[in-house]
Chains A and B, each alone.
Chain A
C-alpha cells in the first residue's frame, strides 16, 4: 500500500533563551494509506509537534513532510491551507468547539469556511451526525452537552470535509473510560468504513491499543515501534 504520509529527517527547534530546544531531532517515519498509527511518549517527547507538522499547522526547521508524495516545503502558504482544509481533519483534546454555535453548526463550519456549503455536503453531514450518534443533539449548544457528546461533535466536524487523514491529539484525554472506549471505536470505524489514515497522539496505553502500529517517541526521535500482530484481521473479515 502507498505511503500516505512520510516524515523525512525532520528537525524542529524552538528558541529557548540563548539555546535551542530540539522538539524533533531528525525523525523519519512512513505512514501507510489506511493505517491507524498510535504515537506514545512522555511529555516533551515531540508527539504534538510531530502532529502539527504532519497537519501543515507548522513548518519543520529542516527536513520535510510529504503528503500523498507532495513535499510540503514545496508548497505556498495558500496551497498549505488548502491541504489543511481538504485533506486533514483535526480532533483535539479540548474539543475546540465554538460555544455560540449548535452541534450541527459547528460540524458544518469547516465546509462553510472552505466555501463548500452544498446540498450534497449538508446531506453528507447529516449522515455523519447520525453515524456518530448525535441525531438528537444536533441543535444543542456545546454547554448543553457532555464531554463525550462534545468529542463526537469534534469527530463529526473533522469528518465533514471528508479528509483522507485524521490527526487526533489526545482525543480521549478529557473523557471517562467508558466514553473513551466509544470515541475510540468511532475512530476505528472511520478507518474501517471510510478508509481514512489516522494518526493519534496519546499517553494512554488503552487508547494506543486501538492502533495497527504503536510508536514511542523519546527526545524527538522514534525510540520504539510495536507492530501489532494480525493488524489486518478486521479488514480481512
Chain B
C-alpha cells in the first residue's frame, strides 16, 4: 500500500489524512526530514502560505522538500500548497519551493465574502463534474508550455499538472467527492 504524507506545518491537515485513508492509502503527517524519507508522495495542504513557508524555512525543510520533488516524488498542492510550489507569485519578490513553472495570484478573488463553491469537470481526474470549494483562493495567472492546465473557472486556470506535480486552487478535501485523492494516490 502506498504511504502518502501530508505536510503538517499548519493548515487543513486532518481533512487530507482522512480522505487518503478513505481511498485506501496509508497516510501520515510530515513535519521533519526523517518523515519525508518514508513516503511515496506528499500533499501540501491549504492554510496560510506565508505561515507554512516561514516554518519550512526556519526548520530547514525547504531544501529537502524541493529536492525530493525535483527528484520525482509526486506532490499535490491545494490552495496554499499551490502557492508554495509556484516558481513565481504575483506582487511578491520571493517564492517558496519554486518547483513548478506557474505564476500564481494570491487571494485572487478577494476576502472571505468572495469565497465560493462551483462544479466543473477536471481533465484526467473525473468524467463527471466535481465540487470545487474556493476559500480566499489563488488562481494561476500564467503557465509555462510544459504545464498542462486541467480546469478553468471564469477564464482562470485553477488546476494544473507538470510532471510529478499537481496543483489545485480549490479544496477537494473539503467535499464528499473522492476523485481527486483517488487520482493522486494512483500517481504515487
A-B interaction: no
